[in-house]
Every structure is written in structure tokens, then in C-alpha cells.
Structure 1
Amino acid sequence: MPKTITIKQSVYDELMGFKKDNESFIELLERLIKSQSKKESLTLLRGSIEFEDKEELLKEIEKKR
């Protein structure tokens, strides 16, 4: 199920610099995530992403633990 996230304009601009021609944003994000450890990825994204429903996200994380 697709999820919507909100990112700062500055983060979007940086992502555009990493994006290859004909590469979708989901492909870019998957490539970036696979290129680093999960902890490093989360650390880099901290403060850059704004979730629509944080409470629901936290509940999902707790279920998976």
C-alpha cells in the first residue's frame, strides 16, 4: 500500500541531484537505502521527513517488534 510523505524543499533538491535519468523516486530511494546500513539511512533522514500520521506509524513499528 503506497504511503505519502512530506519532505523539505532542500531535501527534494538534494534527491534530484542523486536521481538518475529515467529513475523514479521510489527507485532512487530503494537504491539509496540499499547502499547504506539502515541505521545510517535513518540518521541521514532524521529531521527531513514529516509523517502524516506519526501515531499510526509508531503503532505499526511496535507491532513489528
Structure 2
Amino acid sequence: MATKTISITENAYKRLANLKNENESFSMVIERVTKKSDFENLKKLYGILKGKAGKEFEKSILDARKSRERLRDKRIKEQLVQWRG
């Protein structure tokens, strides 16, 4: 693999070093922080579902959230009952 030498300021070096994980090279840090974010990839999907399909998908997401909230609330209540003895 070809390599390139670059000059960066001391401040930029310190910032990269702070981002660097133990077993990670500086090249790996640069690749990690410059890759397209999940948000950028998600923006490409904006508006892909329209009309009835979009409404149904939105409803299924909201229903799943409500279901998770109910399960969470039930678990919390059960734990409170056990805790209070």
C-alpha cells in the first residue's frame, strides 16, 4: 500500500492523538473520522417512502415504540414491587 507524508500542526496532531484508540494507526483514525456518517447515508433515503406505504411504515414504528414503552413500564413496576417487598 502506498503512503504519503503530510505536515500538520502540533494542535492537529494532538487532536488526532486524542481520537486514536490503543491498537489504531493514525491512518485508521483519519479514515474513521472522515467516513460518511450514518446521518449522511440516512439522508439519501429521505422521502423514499411516500403515500400509503410511508404512512404504514410510520405507524408500525410508532406502534413498536408504544409496545416497548409498555413493556418498560411493566418491568419498572414489577421491580418496584420486588424492591418494596
Number of residue-to-residue matches in the alignment? 37
Where do 5+ consecutive residues of structure 1 fail to align?
38-65
- Residues 35 and 18 of structure 1, relative CA distance in 2, 3 Å threshold: farther
Q: Which position in structure 2 is the counterpart of 1:6?
A: 7
Q: Which position in structure 1 is the counterpart of 2:52?
A: none
Structure 1's consecutive aligned runs of 4 or more residues displaced over 3 angstroms after TM superposition are none
- Residues 21 and 35 of structure 1, relative CA distance in 2, 3 Å threshold: farther
Which residues of 2 match residues 1-65 of structure 1 at below 5 A?
1-36=2-37
RMSD: 1.6
- Give 1:14 shift: 0.8
- Residues 26 and 8 of structure 1, relative CA distance in 2, 3 Å threshold: same
- Flag the structure with more relative contact order, 1 or 2, with Cα contacts below 8 A and sequence separation at least 6: 1
Normalised TM-score (structure 2): 0.39
Normalised TM-score (structure 1): 0.50
